[in-house]
Amino acid sequence: MCEAQGEAQDQQHPANEQATVLDHSRQFFALARAGYLPKGLAKLSRFQTPHRAILAGGVIGIAAIYSDGLVNLQGMTLTAAMITMSVFGAIVMYIISMLSLFKLRKTEPNLERTFRAPGYPIVPGIALFLAVVCLVAMAWFNTLIGCVFLGFMAAGYLYFQLTAKQRFDAPADAMLEGV
């Protein structure tokens, strides 16, 4: 890597970290307000900031930083394993999106669409095939991390099922309703 590239990456790093701090607190706050996380994370301070969500994300981030060297999955540090799991998640979401496209086109052929998938069904079919190939390759080379990912997905689904009443009882939110 040339020196200019290294300097550019160093200059981008603080901005990325700042965006992450803002992003995680906003996600925790919004998910708590919608009933997906404990409602205490949706409380605002007297300055109208989601201070509990900010602190919760900070605690999780600090715990991840300090446990990076303690956890080792398939010879990877915790950070590398988390990045690999996020790639599993991205590929799975991409596959679900492609499958949803095909299902929606079949079940609702006359639905008004603001965006048409170019080259349908060939291009989305190729994209779906390649995404499945990527998922198989990821699972082949990262079996343990893939199993951990599946465990997290199962735990998330169980949590989703167990918190259905909490989401149902959450107060109406104008931002969620589009009012």
| Tokens read off for 152 | 């997290």
- Type of residue numbered 151: G
pLDDT at residue 53 above 80? yes
Domain boundaries, the chain: 8-67, 75-162
Contact 124, 101 (CB under 8 A): yes
Q: Which residues of 30-41 are buried (b: 16+ CB within 10 A; e: fewer)?
A: bbbbbbbbeeeb
Q: How far apart are CA 91 and CA 135, in angstroms?
A: 6
pLDDT at 114: 87
Does residue 90 sit in helix, strand or coil? Answer: helix
- Each residue's pLDDT tens digit, 97-134: 999 999 999 999 888 888 888 899 999 999 999 999 99
First-last CA distance in the chain: 50
- Each residue's pLDDT tens digit, 9-27: 444 455 555 666 568 888 8
pLDDT at 66: 87
- Type of residue numbered 118: P
pLDDT at 169: 83
Query: What does residue 79 show for φ and ψ, rounded to 5 degrees?
Result: -60, -45
Residues 6+ apart with CB under 8 A from 104: 111
| Tokens read off for 100 | 């949803």
> Cis (ω within 30 of 0) for the bond into 38?
no
- Each residue's pLDDT tens digit, 76-85: 988 889 899 9
Bridge partners of 76, per DSSP, are 73
Q: How far apart are CA 69 and CA 78, in angstroms?
A: 7
